[in-house]
Structure 1
Amino acid sequence: MARKKTPEPKPAACSVCKGTGEVSRTVRVGRRHREVGQQTGLCLNCLGSGEAPAE
């Protein structure tokens, strides 16, 4: 008799990056820290995996 495989539950998405693994940061330049745009970077909460970190 064959056993049925139970599907593994999907890990929860990271609350900071919403599961993408990237976050947007404002880029500032000059002495007065003028904002010139945005740049994407690695999410430091989940380290780019997109999954919620373990407690």
Structure 2
Amino acid sequence: MAAKKTPARKLTAAKCKPCKGTGEVSRPVRVGRKHRVVGEQTGMCLACFGSGEAPTN
């Protein structure tokens, strides 16, 4: 009797929490002596390095 093969599970990585899986985060842009906020700039997420997947330990 042949042994039954179980289908391999696909492992899906969890989404990165700071960027919510997008790989980009917004940072406030501050100008002047009083450092007033004038807008936001989008940059790469430093927690997942832009991949959007949660880092594993």
Identify whether the pair has TM-score above 0.5, normalized to the shorter chain: yes
Q: Which residue number in structure 1 is paired with residue 11 of structure 2?
A: 9
Unmatched 5+ stretches in structure 1: none
Unmatched 5+ stretches in structure 2: none
Q: CA RMSD in A?
A: 1.5
The question of 1:35 aligning with 2:50 is answered no
Q: What CA distance in whole angstroms lies between the structure 1 residues aligned with 2:50 and 2:37?
A: 25
TM-score calculated relative to the size of structure 1: 0.84
Q: Which one has a bigger Cα radius of gyration?
A: 2
The letter of the residue matching 1:54 is T
TM-score calculated relative to the size of structure 2: 0.81
- Give the Å deviation of 1:4: 7.6
- More deviation in 18-27 or 4-13? 4-13
User: What is the aligned length?
Assistant: 53
